[in-house]
Structure 1
Amino acid sequence: MFRILKLLKAKYKWLAVVTLLLTIFETFAFLFTPTFIGQIVSLVALEYNKITHPFTNVEINILLYKTSFPTIVEALKFLGLSFGITLLIGAISGMVSTYLSSYISIGGSRDIRSYLWNHIESLSQKDIELFTNAKILTRFTIDVNRIQMGIQMALKSIILGPVQLTLGLVLSLLSSLKLSAVFGAMIPLLFLIMGVLGLISMPLFKKEQKLNDNINIESQENILGVKVIKSFNLEENQWNKFKNVNETLGKTSGKSWLVFNLMFIMVMLIANLASLAILATVGYTSRGITQAEYQKQISNINAFINYVMIVTMGVIMTIFVLFYIYRARISAKRIFEILDKEPDIKFITSDKKVTEGKIKFDHVSFRYYENSEKNVLEDITFEANPGEIIGIIGPTGSGKSTIAKLLNLDFKTQYGKVLIDNNNIQEIDTLSLRQNISHVYQVPTILSGTIKSNLLFANENASDNDMIQATKISCAYEYINRFPKKYDHEVEQKGANLSGGQKQRLSIAQGVIRKPKILILDDSTSALDAKTESLVRKNIREAFKETGITTVIIAQKISSIIDANKIIVLHHGKISDIGTHQELMKKNKLYKEIALTQLGGEHE
């Protein structure tokens, strides 16, 4: 929890000190109220019963401060004024400290989300895959909210509760040593109950956090996989899985809150029993007393019952703040699971830039996990010169997309080197690398907004002419202009109101609008017909024939790579052969089988 507080900005830390000081003022101010109330009640009782002698001074005893007044009215005026000032100080301090604690906790939680967001952006794809999307979302929502509550409770109640408990006991002892004996039984009993119920509740809180992750995972899987679920009539099966997780979370939450509320019930029961004991004690010892003793008894009993409630509230606040701090502590650990994760791929600032787009794989071998039985790629070596089109084809699982991920530095190689413009990709300036490589995926990531906003997402400085040119290259220009609002056409989340081919063409436009040195088309024309696909490739060649662009096409279809300068045939993670279409048809059996299956005998 203290590590989380270190993340707060300096201004929040200074305001936290101010909040704690104001909370102390508030606590001290309200701790004096029982004494004032006791004195006022006793004087009113004396006046009502006409017990005072006209020539007897009225004594006022506020803790260690003693004074006297000639009449009850003057004494009441003094007590009323003092009581009003004390309440005003306490109220103002309380309101300001409450506002500041809310301000700090809300601002702090916003900063924590920002730290979390910025750190996640620095992580590689491999790093992020260690945490599921659902777990990351839980960190951003539930865990940060619990930290926010923990900070607020820590600033407002971590002092208020223990101070009320401690000073309530001290002031009650100063008021009446005899009546204070009731606390000798009350306090140990309270803490015993708190300890037992606390030990029961802590494992439940931890389990509840994990179950929140599970319910997010189940929800996300069902929402994202709704088409598959419906197509296989798995609604009831998935409902039962979700129901089990949901009911388990409900039962665990119910148990944890039952234990938590039981603490309050037991505390209030003991407090009321303590008040009953005090009243019984005073009633039994109040026979045949003098005026002074009567006044003192009335004052003590009122003050003491108030001190019992103050001590009780101190215990309740202590339980409350420990509860929220403990939950915040669990959430803080979960937040730091991500923040402590060192990026597998560091952000590099270097004078090594991408200038031409020359690619070289030098004996590259790769596996996704260190404990994997074998490599996904084995001894991959090839080159691509600026302006060339490189095709990569092979059976499913042969490692085609893995080459694209290594070229885009989503993952690092374990063995060998990936070079761009004769520089190791892991030493190239990160901004230059990202700006000069466009990776267009098979499943496009289209954001809610407009056609224009999605294009600007790829290049925020793009002009209207740049957008027109990019969409013409990707063959998206025609269908965009059929929309009434054209480039301002509204796009739903994940491009739900666009067809598969429309999304792929928009995604290709995003790739080319950046005017990169290297363009990776990772099976990104799979939803296009052969004519449109051929036209897209032709448009890319013509658009970049002067500036030059190295195009890497990863495909399942021979037609996508048939006119490439080089075609790499992958099989079981190894390069089976490299050559042009005509060369491979003559010398590579695997490639020829794929071609004959897809194209028939026309390309033999």
Structure 2
Amino acid sequence: MLPQNNIPKDVGRKLLKLVLSRWKLLTVTLILTSIVSYISTIFPYLTREAVNLLYAGKIEDIWFYAVLVVVLTIIQGLASYGKNVFSEYTGQSIVYELRNRIYAHLNELSLGFFDRIESGQIIARATSDVEDIRRFIGFGIPSILNIIVMFVFSIAMMLIIDVELTLVTLSMFPLMVLFVRYSIPKYRAYVAMSRNIYSEMTTAVKEAATGIKVIKSYVLGDYFASNFRSKLLEYFNMDMKTSKLRAIIWPSMGWFVYLTIAIIYWYGGLRAISGDITIGDVVAFTLYILFLNRPIMLIGYNIVRYQRALVATKRIFDILEAEPEVRDLPDAEDIEIKRGNIRFENVWFSYDGKNYVLKGLNLEIKPGEIVALTGPTGSGKSTIAQLIMRLYDPQKGRILIDGVDVKRFKLESLRRQIGMVHQDVFLFPDTIRNNIAFGAPDTSIEDVVRVAKLAHIHDFISSLPKGYDTNVGERGVTLSGGQRQRLSIARALMINPKIIILDDSTSQVDAKTEAAIYDALTKHFRGKTVIVITQRIPTLKLVDRIIVISDGEIVEEGSFSDLIEKGKLFPKLFKAGREEI
């Protein structure tokens, strides 16, 4: 079954706009290409003159044409060098701009976008898809102009030599046009399918690389290898379909050329015998068609390049034209959080717009309060934290900090005043110092050490041969889970936040160290609001108030002792888990 061709009509205009963004460079490239192509069309005419002189026995006049060919060849070589340099520079400069735009726009997009599209798709669009556009702009466009110039001047020269033979020679071109119109839509669809499968393969490789410890621990290597092989086979089959169709397109274009030469030999030979044209004319026509052989063959190749560029343009602009769901409002301001009061008013939120994770949530956290959010898995605890940071916006209701709707804050202003330690700790392949100072790169080593002590990670860092200059490896692979969590806590404290959110960020730390961390936090950040998302009993015993959430709603709240004694859901969860709720 033929895959659907889903390339909107405006994609071609977008690709054209990209091309015209470098119109000065492109103009120089096209002028040099025209010079190269024009000189190529002169050679058959000079050969015609030389053959006619030889046939007439005027050998002494041939030297002029020999010298002229040498001079034109040198000029053509220089122009060709300039054309190649400028065409490559044009393509590379557009690639440079595109990748910068993609990267910058990805940073502006909301988390909802990344929930909907796999990371492998993003990587493929920023790499191989951009390369397809570069190949079309850097090589395809000059090649297309070369074909046009070669055709126009070659046909013009052929008409000058003999109109009748020219018309007979061009009789094959309507068949070529019909062939192209039939084969290209199918090829475009195959290319689109192939690019999508390639993106899925990229995702599979990324998952295997980042999750290698889990894969090895659960002996799932064969399972993941089998899944990858199935994707690889799917890509292989689709690529073979594309290659087979391409293998038909190219030789078929060449077949039209050689059939045309046969017509020239037959019809032109008959007219040369009758004396209507010269032997030089037949030779010139043959050379023109042979000279046009490569451009004609490249018609199919450039059509392929153009189709790949269209597919790539669509996929890239799917990213560039994606609108962030969360953005600064026109009247947003830099607002200072002074107290740290947080209030949810009738908040409803759904990730997919259908299934609500939070259902009419009403919640207030007072300034300076240490609050724990707990409850069954999937109850909406982490969602609350992400809404405070405004990583998402609720569908209904509003969230206020110090009485101000979070939408009134500029996003940068809001997030710089909230220190959040995520459940999934991410460390960069850099030094410990740079990872801690990530949110404040110009900070002093003294401040880095200060927050490291608060997170109870300083002693461990000091024991390392390179200390704070130790490289942690990709995603902090050289550190234990607890060490990564404490490093992440230090990073959050580095920005001196008004509100601190710890999303299950001490789950891999022993109870004694955890108690010490919270003791240090409460003493150093006295009066600041701390929200702890956890299912650990030792952690719940350290906070001022516990809020139990189930199915997107608050079912009960109070101190640990009150909930154990009077709660309904909390005692059941505590009794069922003991060590984990």
> Residue 196 and residue 352 in structure 1: after superposition, are their counterparts in 2 closer, same or farther (change >3 A)?
closer
Give CA deviations for 1:529-588 in whole Å, capped at 9, x if unaligned.
00000111111112223xx42111111013213232222111221111222233333431
Aligned residue identity for 2:13: F
Give the corresponding residue for 2:391: 410
Aligned length: 566
> Residue 482 and residue 8 in structure 1: after superposition, are their counterparts in 2 closer, same or farther (change >3 A)?
farther
Give the corresponding residue for 1:183: 169
The higher radius of gyration belongs to 1
> Residue 251 and residue 563 in structure 1: after superposition, are their counterparts in 2 closer, same or farther (change >3 A)?
closer
Give the corresponding residue for 2:291: 310
TM-score calculated relative to the size of structure 2: 0.91
Give the corresponding residue for 1:35: 45
Give the corresponding residue for 1:124: 110
Give the corresponding residue for 1:249: 235
Displacement after TM superposition at 1:78 (Å): 4.0
User: In the alignment, does 2:131 pair up with 1:152?
Assistant: no
Other structure's SS at 1:457 match: coil
Tell which deviates more after alignment, 152-161 or 127-136: 152-161
Give the corresponding residue for 1:379: 360
Aligned residue identity for 1:370: G
Other structure's SS at 2:443 match: coil
Give the corresponding residue for 1:344: 325
Q: Unaligned 5+ residue runs, structure 2?
A: 1-11
Question: Quick check: 1:558–1:598 contact (8 Å CA) kept in 2?
Answer: no
Give the corresponding residue for 1:362: 345
Give the corresponding residue for 2:25: 15
Give CA deviations for 1:267-290 in whole Å, capped at 9, x if unaligned.
32332343344345555555596x
Give the corresponding residue for 1:2: 13
> Residue 9 and residue 576 in structure 1: after superposition, are their counterparts in 2 closer, same or farther (change >3 A)?
farther
Displacement after TM superposition at 1:591 (Å): 2.4
Aligned residue identity for 2:126: F
> Residue 543 and residue 41 in structure 1: after superposition, are their counterparts in 2 closer, same or farther (change >3 A)?
farther
> Residue 488 and residue 466 in structure 1: after superposition, are their counterparts in 2 closer, same or farther (change >3 A)?
same
Q: 1:97 aligns with which of 79, 83, 89?
A: 83
Give the corresponding residue for 2:562: 583
Give CA deviations for 1:499-551 in whole Å, capped at 9, x if unaligned.
11111111111111111111110000000000000111111112223xx4211
User: In the alignment, does 2:543 pair up with 1:564?
Assistant: yes
Give the corresponding residue for 2:409: 428
In the alignment, the residues of structure 2 paired with residue 261 and residue 80 of structure 1 have an alpha-carbon distance, to the nearest angstrom, of 39
Other structure's SS at 1:475 match: coil
Displacement after TM superposition at 1:402 (Å): 0.8
Q: 1:550 aligns with which of 518, 529, 536?
A: 529
In the alignment, the residues of structure 2 paired with residue 269 and residue 8 of structure 1 have an alpha-carbon distance, to the nearest angstrom, of 32
Question: Quick check: 1:162–1:315 contact (8 Å CA) kept in 2?
Answer: no
Question: Quick check: 2:332–2:407 contact (8 Å CA) kept in 1?
Answer: no
Displacement after TM superposition at 1:160 (Å): 1.3
Other structure's SS at 1:32 match: helix
Displacement after TM superposition at 1:395 (Å): 1.6
Aligned residue identity for 2:194: E
Give CA deviations for 1:403-448 in whole Å, capped at 9, x if unaligned.
1111111111112111112111112011211211111012200111
Q: 1:196 aligns with which of 172, 177, 182?
A: 182
Aligned residue identity for 2:368: G
Tell which deviates more after alignment, 77-86 or 342-351: 77-86
Aligned residue identity for 2:156: V
> Residue 559 and residue 252 in structure 1: after superposition, are their counterparts in 2 closer, same or farther (change >3 A)?
same
Give the corresponding residue for 1:55: none
> Residue 355 and residue 231 in structure 1: after superposition, are their counterparts in 2 closer, same or farther (change >3 A)?
closer
Aligned residue identity for 1:397: G
> Residue 335 and residue 469 in structure 1: after superposition, are their counterparts in 2 closer, same or farther (change >3 A)?
same
Q: 1:535 aligns with which of 516, 539, 546?
A: 516
In the alignment, the residues of structure 1 paired with residue 20 and residue 183 of structure 2 have an alpha-carbon distance, to the nearest angstrom, of 36
Question: Quick check: 1:365–1:377 contact (8 Å CA) kept in 2?
Answer: yes
Give CA deviations for 1:72-120 in whole Å, capped at 9, x if unaligned.
54x4454345444443443333322221111111110121111111111
In the alignment, the residues of structure 1 paired with residue 71 and residue 120 of structure 2 have an alpha-carbon distance, to the nearest angstrom, of 53
In the alignment, the residues of structure 2 paired with residue 215 and residue 86 of structure 1 have an alpha-carbon distance, to the nearest angstrom, of 50
Question: Quick check: 2:272–2:279 contact (8 Å CA) kept in 1?
Answer: no
Tell which deviates more after alignment, 346-355 or 393-402: 346-355
Other structure's SS at 1:211 match: helix
Aligned positions of 1:48-447 closer than 5 A: 51-52=57-58, 73=60, 75-281=61-267, 283-284=269-270, 286=272, 297-348=278-329, 350-356=332-338, 357-372=340-355, 375-447=356-428
Give the corresponding residue for 1:470: 451
TM-score calculated relative to the size of structure 1: 0.87
In the alignment, the residues of structure 1 paired with residue 207 and residue 564 of structure 2 have an alpha-carbon distance, to the nearest angstrom, of 43
Displacement after TM superposition at 1:233 (Å): 4.2
Other structure's SS at 2:165 match: coil
> Residue 135 and residue 363 in structure 1: after superposition, are their counterparts in 2 closer, same or farther (change >3 A)?
same
Q: Unaligned 5+ residue runs, structure 1?
A: 53-71
Q: CA RMSD in A?
A: 2.5
In the alignment, the residues of structure 1 paired with residue 257 and residue 563 of structure 2 have an alpha-carbon distance, to the nearest angstrom, of 89
Question: Quick check: 1:470–1:513 contact (8 Å CA) kept in 2?
Answer: yes
